[in-house]
Structure 1
Amino acid sequence: MANSPADPNLRRLVDAELERQRWAASVGDVGSAWWALERAHIVSQSDLFLHLRVHGIMLMYGLRTADLREAAGQLLRLALAPLGTLSGRTPVGNTGRARVDPFAPMPVPGDLRRALEEAGG
């Protein structure tokens, strides 16, 4: 697990995606906002604080967009995230959305893979 409360390199990567999400949400681009949140989730998984933060933001965005299925899924993931992160068994590349299996590994986008390697994650 990354240093607590959050590794500065991981925090920088997550913050960049969360800024992208805020911008997309501010202009009403729900698809791009979720895309950025998924990317933030992929990056955050190795750090408990960041992982919980991203799921919390996903929960709030699900509520904001009246997506109750997503909000319910995020509640479940908020409960599961500590177990996965602390045990080191988070599914690599998983986007963290309610519509995907929370235990399924997924491909990591190439740019995120490179950024994580450069950040030491």
Structure 2
Amino acid sequence: MRELVGLELERHDASAAIGDIGAAWWALERAHILSQPDLPLHLRVHWTLLGYAVRQRDLREVAGQTLRLALAPIGSLTGRIPVGNTGRSNVSAFQPMPIPADLRATIEAEPKP
């Protein structure tokens, strides 16, 4: 899964570099969905979301990511991760969401440890 998250983060970097804000956020949302089961990876994605929010001067997103960085370890420890959640501040941090079909297939094909 780490490789797939890395690919989405690369997609984010490439999109951000050419100024495609929508595609940059989309790639981060996908990275977030994939990273949820792995706390260190999940936190890395939230740090990346926070950094992008700062660069975009999006104060609402900065506040949302700061909160999510605090909540992610608690959710992981308690097993209460909202599966499929995109990790953005425009959705509740507690709301499960449908996983896009291509990501769902990838997640289901991933060998379980």
Q: TM-score range by the shorter chain?
A: over 0.9
Query: Quick one: which of 29, 37, 55 aligns to 2:20?
Result: 29
For the aligned residue pairs, the C-alpha RMSD in angstroms reads 0.9
Q: TM-score, normalised by structure 2?
A: 0.96
Q: TM-score, normalised by structure 1?
A: 0.90
- Identity across matched positions, percent: 62
Query: Does residue 1:64 correspond to 2:55, yes or no?
Result: yes
Query: Quick one: which of 51, 54, 75 aligns to 2:45?
Result: 54
Query: Does residue 1:103 correspond to 2:94, yes or no?
Result: yes
Which sections of structure 2, spanning at least 5 residues, go unmatched? none
1:69-113 Cα deviation digits (max 9, x unpaired) = 101100000000001122221011000001100000000000001
Query: Does residue 1:41 correspond to 2:6, yes or no?
Result: no
Distance 1:120 1:108 in 2: 18
Match of 1:84 in 2: 75
The structure whose RCO (Cα within 8 Å, separation 6+) is larger is: 1
Moved over 3 A (4+): none
